[in-house]
């Protein structure tokens, strides 16, 4: 009897802890939603995906990380992309055309209750790696057969799309209309949103790599899903964090223990442990701007609650799919 009582008490205690953990997660996710968003029409950003290019679950993975998604579809995550919305003109812009774009357009439609056109007013693309642009194929003749969707890219990326199939067909059939942007020069999207491309160091086989500063009439955002190392960035991470309110940053790998057989120097991403080290002496207000995204399937921040809570405790946020910022 005593044993039974103790078992009940301890399971109640665990239940309370779990509830409290979810409450903390909930607080973490809403803390940056502008309080006035319900009354005023102000621009917002919605996170439509948080996974690295290979997605989650990941091809060929039979480890615990990807097995978690087998019995529960809701634990699957899309590849990183964000939507910037201007509710005054009822337009929106998509950042990255991912392999999950079809699901992400549907997610956007559901989250915004169908108040916006199905297709964005433009798509901004950072670079020519598979998770960032291959969704463009959905706009082509075999799928949507779209007409003149504006695709904002840097000059090398534009050239790559114009001169290589199947992308060149999208250009020739005018499914997409390429708009060449310039680094450090603002693209004005509406009276409330402008986008400034920033050059970032990354494996540039086919194109240069951009990050974006998205300035809105409400908050300013930084979007850098892929970068080699912060130390290689002449702009400086802290400097850029000072310029914005919210920063979506490359969080591909949590630490080197995730990749026991690789030399740390050959990994072309800042480990989250390295990013934390760079920011360790910064104020909490700076750390709290950081929202980690672009998680590799092995990164526990995508699927492990205790790891997520540990990160939030030291002041950082973890990108959550479908959340407004
Ligand atoms: Zn990527
Ligand atoms: Zn990349």
Answer yes or no: is pLDDT of 107 > 60: yes
Percentage, residues of the chain above pLDDT 70: 87
User: In the numeric block, which tokens belong to residue 42?
Assistant: 């102000």
Question: Is 239 in a helix, a strand, or coil?
Answer: helix
**pLDDT of 194:** 98
Neighbours of 121 (CB within 10 A): 18
- Ligand that lies nearest to the alpha carbon of residue 132, given by its number in the listed order: 1
Quick count: other Cβ atoms within 10 Å of Cβ 57? 19
List of E strands, the chain? 44-49, 81-86, 91-95, 122-124, 149-153, 176-180, 187-188, 193-199, 210-216, 220-224, 246-250, 290-293, 317-318
Looking at residue 5, its pLDDT comes to: 46
Residue 11 has what pLDDT? 52
The dihedral region occupied by 181, where left means phi > 0, alpha psi between -120 and 50, and beta the remainder, is beta
Distance 298 CA to ligand 1 centre (A): 15
Q: How many whole angstroms from 75 Cα to the centroid of ligand 2? A: 24
> Minimum-distance ligand to the CA of 129?
2
At residue 31, the pLDDT reads 46
- Model pLDDT, residue 33: 47
Q: Is 195 helix (H, G, I), strand (E, B) or coil?
A: strand
The residue whose two tokens read 């549907």 is: 106
Average pLDDT, integer, range 106-133: 98
Q: How confident is the model at residue 6 (pLDDT cuts 50, 70, 90)?
A: low
Peptide bond into 166 cis (omega under 30): yes
Predicted pLDDT of residue 263: 75
Distance (Å, whole) CA 293 – CA 81? 9
pTM: 0.88
pLDDT of residue 261: 73
Residue-wise pLDDT tens digits, 295-310: 999 999 999 999 999 9
3-state secondary structure of 189: coil
Report the 10 Å Cβ neighbour count for 36.
10
Neighbours of ion ligand 1 (CB under 5 A): 53, 131, 226
Q: Determine contact, residues 94/118, Cβ cutoff 8 Å.
A: no
The per-residue pLDDT for range 185-225, each reduced to its tens digit, is 999 999 999 999 999 999 888 999 999 999 999 999 999 99
- In the chain, what is the straight-line distance between the N-terminal and C-terminal CA atoms, in Å? 50
Portion of the chain with pLDDT greater than 90, in percent: 81
- pLDDT of 267 strictly over 90: no
Query: How far apart are the C-alpha atoms of 210 and 56, rounded to whole Å?
Result: 24
Q: How does pLDDT run across 28-57, given as a tens digit for each residue? A: 554 444 444 445 799 999 999 999 999 999
The CA distance from 174 to 238, in Å, is 41
Query: CA-CA distance, 78 to 56, in Å (whole number)?
Result: 7
Neighbours of 177 (CB within 10 A): 14
**For residue 157, pLDDT beyond 70:** yes
What pLDDT is stored for residue 24 in this prediction?
A: 53
Residue 69, pLDDT above cutoff 70: yes
On average, the pLDDT of the chain sits at 90
* Strand 91-95, strand 81-86: pairing: antiparallel
pLDDT score of 128 more than 90: yes
* For range 251-275, the mean pLDDT: 85
Residues near ligand 2 ion, CB 5 Å cutoff: 129, 226
DSSP label at residue 263:
-
**Strand, coil or helix: what is 174?**
coil
Average confidence (pLDDT) over 114-123: 98
Rounded to the nearest angstrom, the distance between the alpha carbon of 146 and the centre of ligand 2 is 26
């Amino acid at each position: 009897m005593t044993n039974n009582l103790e078992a009940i008490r301890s399971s109640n205690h665990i239940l309370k802890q779990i509830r409290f953990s979810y409450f903390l997660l909930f607080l973490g996710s809403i803390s940056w939603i502008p309080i006035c968003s319900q009354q005023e029409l102000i621009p917002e950003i919605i996170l439509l995906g948080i996974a690295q290019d290979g997605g989650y679950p990941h091809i060929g993975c039979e480890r615990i990380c990807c097995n978690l998604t087998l019995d529960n579809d809701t634990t699957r995550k899309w590849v990183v992309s964000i939507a910037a919305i201007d509710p005054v003109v009822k337009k929106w812009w998509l950042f990255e055309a991912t392999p999950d774009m079809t699901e992400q357009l549907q997610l956007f439609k559901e989250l915004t209750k169908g108040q916006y056109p199905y297709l964005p007013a433009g798509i901004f693309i950072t670079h020519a790696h598979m998770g960032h642009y291959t969704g463009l194929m959905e706009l082509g003749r075999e799928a949507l057969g779209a007409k003149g969707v504006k695709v904002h890219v840097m000059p090398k990326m534009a050239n790559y799309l114009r001169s290589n199939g199947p992308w060149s067909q999208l250009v020739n059939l005018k499914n997409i209309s390429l708009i060449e942007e310039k680094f450090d020069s603002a693209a004005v999207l509406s009276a409330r949103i402008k986008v400034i491309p920033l050059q970032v160091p990354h494996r540039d086989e086919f194109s240069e790599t951009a990050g974006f500063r998205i300035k809105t009439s409400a908050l300013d955002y930084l979007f850098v899903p892929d970068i080699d190392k912060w130390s290689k960035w002449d702009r400086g991470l802290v400097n850029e964090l000072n310029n914005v309110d919210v920063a979506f940053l490359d969080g591909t790998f949590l630490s080197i223990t995730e990749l026991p057989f690789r030399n740390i120097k050959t990994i072309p991403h800042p480990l989250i442990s390295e990013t934390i080290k760079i920011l360790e002496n910064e104020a909490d207000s700076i750390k709290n701007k950081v929202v980690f995204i672009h998680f590799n399937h092995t990164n526990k921040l995508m699927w492990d609650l205790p790891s997520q809570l540990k990160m939030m405790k030291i002041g950082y946020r973890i990108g959550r799919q479908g959340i407004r910022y």
